[in-house]
Chain A
Amino acid sequence: MRTNRNTKSILWIAPLTVVFFCFGLLLMAQFNTAQAKRQALENESSANLAMIIKGVTSNKEELTAQLAALKDELKESEALIASGKSLNNAVVNRILTLSAVTGDRQVTGPGITVTITGESNLMYYDLIDLINELFASGAEAIAINETRFTTHTSITEKAVRKTAYDGAGNLISEAGYVPLINGKEVLYPIVIKAIGSPATLETGLTYPGGIIESLNSLYMVYPVIKQMDNLLIPAAPEYIYKYAQAPATGNADSGN
C-alpha cells in the first residue's frame, strides 16, 4: 500500500520538478531580456538620452585627443625606424664589401685575365709576384684557375721529374718544379683573373721594367693579358678560425 503511494508521488513530482526547473530557466531568461530591454536606448527618456549624448560626446573628444597624440607617437616611431633602416642598410653594405674582400662571396666586375701556357718556365714565386703586382695595381679580387686568392691562400711548389724530347728526338728526363695553390698542383694553362680597372691593371703589369718585361726577358715566360668587361670570380671555401677570436667588446686597442 505504502509502495503504491510512493510510486504515485514520483509520478507527479518528477514531471512537475522538470517543468518547474524549465520554467525557472525561462523566467530568468525573460528577466535578463527585460533588463536588457530596459537598458536599451530606445526606451530611454529624452532627458536621459540628452545626458547620454553629452557623456558620449565628451568621451569622443577625449578619445580624439588621445588618437592625435598616438598618431604623433606613431610618426616619431616611424621616423626612428626609418633611421634604423638606413643604419641597417649601411651595415649590410659593409658586410657585403667585407665578404667580397675576404672571399666569402663570389664577385663580378671588369678586369683582366692573365693566361700562362704550359710551355713557360713559371716558378711559384713568379705567380706570387704577379699577384702582388695585381693587388698593387688596384685589383679587388683575384682567382688563379678559379681558386679565389684570399689571405689564407698558399702558393708553394713541389719538385717533379719532367720528361721531354730534345731536338734530336731523344727522350730526356729532368728535375723540375710545379707551383701548388693550397697544396694542389696548378694545371696549365694558368688563368689569373683579376677584377679592377682593366687598363690600370694591365698597365701595372706591362709598364717598362715591370714584371711582364722581367718574365719575358729573364725567364722566357710570356703571359697573355686580356681586358674583360665582366669577370666572375668564385667564392673561397669557408675558412674556420680555430684560434683567432674577435674581442666581444670590439675594442681594437685591447691587445696593446
Chain B
Amino acid sequence: MWLPLLGLIVGLLLGSIFTFNIPIEYANYLAVAVLAGLDSLLGGWNAIFKRDFDGMTLITGFFVNTLLAAGLAALGDMIGIDLYLAAVVAFGIRIFHNISSIRHELIALNRKRKGKRQSHGGIDQS
C-alpha cells in the first residue's frame, strides 16, 4: 500500500522540480483533466476493496478519461458551451460517490476485523 503513495510523492516532487507550466488559457482544461484523473484513481481504489480491480482498466481509464475530459472542455470552449462545468459536476459527483464507497468498505473491513478478534477471544475464554 505504501508503494502507490510513494509513487504519488515522487510524481509531486518531479512535478515541482521540473515545473510543467501549461499556458494559462488551458488551465480550465487541465483542472478538468485532474478531476478525471482523481476520479479514476478513487475508482481503482474502490475496486480494490470490492475485489473487482483490473490494472489495465485503471491505467486506460486514467489516461483516456483525463484526455477525454480535457478534450471535451476544449470542444465546449470552441462551440461556446461551458462543457467543463458539466465535467466538473459529473466528476465531482463520481468522486464523492467513490469516496463514500471507500469509506463504507473501510468501515465494513474494520467491523469485520473487530468481529474476528471478538470471536477468537470467545474461543479462548471458553
Contact = CB atoms under 8 A, between A and B. Distances in A.
A interface: dominant SS = helix
B10 interface: yes
Contact of B8 (A11, A20, A29): A20
19 contacts: A11-B53, A12-B48, A12-B55, A13-B4, A19-B7, A19-B44, A19-B59, A20-B4, A20-B11, A21-B10, A22-B62, A23-B62, A26-B30, A27-B15, A27-B34, A29-B20, A30-B33, A32-B22, A40-B24
Nearest to A27: B34
Contacts, number: 119
Interface in B8-34: 8-16, 19-22, 24, 26-27, 30-31, 33-34
A28 B45 contact: no
Given A13-B3, A28-B11, A36-B21, A23 B41 contact: yes
A65 interface: no
A32 B8 contact: no
B20 A37 contact: no
A24 B44 contact: no
Contacts of B58: 15-16, 19
A15 B19 CA distance: 24
B55 A14 contact: yes
Nearest to B2: A13
Interface of A: 11-34, 36-37, 40
B66 interface: yes
Contact of B30 (A20, A22, A33, A40): A33
Task: Bin the interface of chain B by size.
Answer: 35 or more
Contacts of A34: 27, 31
B78 interface: no
A33 B24 contact: yes
The 9 closest A-B pairs by CB, nearest first: A24-B11, A28-B15, A15-B55, A17-B7, A21-B7, A29-B20, A20-B7, A20-B8, A21-B11
B16 A28 contact: yes
Given A16-B4, A17-B7, A32-B19, A25 B55 contact: no
A71 to B, nearest CB: 37
Nearest to B31: A30
B15 A19 contact: no
B6 interface: yes
A252 B14 CA distance: 74
A32 B26 CA distance: 12
A20 B45 CA distance: 11
Nearest to B10: A21
Given A14-B55, A18-B59, A26 B7 contact: no
Considering residues A13, A16, A34, which has the most beta carbons from chain B within 10 angstroms of its beta carbon? A16
A33 B19 CA distance: 9
B20 A32 contact: yes
B5 interface: yes
Nearest to A34: B27
B79 interface: no
Contacts of B63: 22
A23 B11 contact: yes
B3 to A, nearest CB: 5
A21 B9 CA distance: 7
A24 to B, nearest CB: 2
A24 B59 contact: no
B40 A19 contact: yes
B4 A24 contact: no
B123 interface: no
